[in-house]
Amino acid sequence: MLSRKRKIFFLLLYVTTVSVLFNGRQSARFVNYISHVLETRSCACQKCLSEGEPWFMDRYNQSVKPFLSRKHGITEDIFNWWKRLQGDRSSFNNYTEAIDKVFQMIPDKDHNTQPSPDKCRSCAVVGNSRNLKGSHYGALIDSHDIIMRMNRGRTQGYEIDVGTRTTHHVMYPESAKPLPNTTHLVLFPFKTKDFRWTINYLPPSSHKYQPTKNTIELIMLSPAFMKYVHENWLLNPTRTYPSTGFMAVVLSLHMCDEVSVFGFGADSDGNWSHYFEELRNKLLRTGLHKGPQEYRIIQQLFELQKIHMYKGW
């Protein structure tokens, strides 16, 4: 099928030809109208995320800034909401001191996630579900502009099913693994201690925290974005918070114009089992997260044609 931009190109070519042969003034007006429509669209895809159904637009806030920077920090009210996620006892001053130290080490970039009328950015969000085994999605995943993996997700030995490329790897300290210098580390912080981890790695005696290479580019998700996902997308469920995978899906809606989701969903027993390891706790289900609710929302995004969803086997 022809892309949208190629279709419009041929339409403009046709109308221009007609204008030369017949009525130049009226055809020129139509050319200007088509050009205006193209210029005012937010992206160069056949369909942009900002064009859409009320259900989606009620949840999607394009003005939200997903990443932390000195310019886009958080208020104390947001900090007080965020610190309760994992019982952080730090003060707001402790938090701001840790953030200041981080920005002394890494470039303070204002990451632009706004769509552009001359681009069609594609994202592959690759979860860790067991349904990726035998899927043969590897080449399709690798064809995307941005490929986002998470936690301990791996490619070596699973290339046919999950691909080889990773541009952004979502992690928090307890799920950290070494990354190549070509991959952005996207830190999903759940407590002030997570920011300190990026400054000075904890000693080896703390088995939960594994150091990563400090030469890779670090991007930090904003606690304000976590609150936005919790309130706008999950509608404030009590005693829980969004999973890493679900936040990655919503993040991709803000980073890309076309989103494909792979490797999401529980197994037949209702557990979040992984393609790269055997599940030991058969009663895990989806842990502290509202897994079924998150999956229903992802399914709804697929049904509304906001994302492509690949379910594996």
Distance, CA of 242 to CA of 231 (rounded, Å): 10
Among 144, 169, 230, 289, the active-site one is 289
Strand partners, 173: none
245 is in an annotated binding site: yes
The vertex-307 CA angle with 306 and 311, nearest 5°, equals 145
128 is in an annotated binding site: yes
Q: Is 136:146 a contact under the CB 8 Å cutoff? A: no
151 is in an annotated binding site: yes
Cα torsion angle, 132, 134, 138, 140, sign:
negative
User: Within 13 Å of residue 125, how many CA atoms lie on the same side as its CB?
Assistant: 26
61 is in an annotated binding site: no
**DSSP annotation of 274:** B
181 is in an annotated binding site: no
241 is in an annotated binding site: yes
Structural Rg of the chain based on CA atoms:
22
112 is in an annotated binding site: no
Tokens of 176: 């950290």
**Of residues 155, 151, 191, the one with CA closest to residue 171:** 151
Among 60, 95, 137, 241, the active-site one is 241
Query: Dihedrals φ, ψ of 146, to 5°?
Result: -115, 130
86 is in an annotated binding site: yes
| Residue 241 among the catalytic residues | yes
For tokens 């632009």, name the residue: 112
127 is in an annotated binding site: no
Distance, CA of 106 to CA of 283 (rounded, Å): 41
Q: Catalytic residues, which ones?
A: 241, 289
Binding residues: 86, 128, 151, 209, 241, 245, 265, 274, 289
Binding residues for substrate: 86, 128, 151, 209, 241, 245, 265, 274, 289
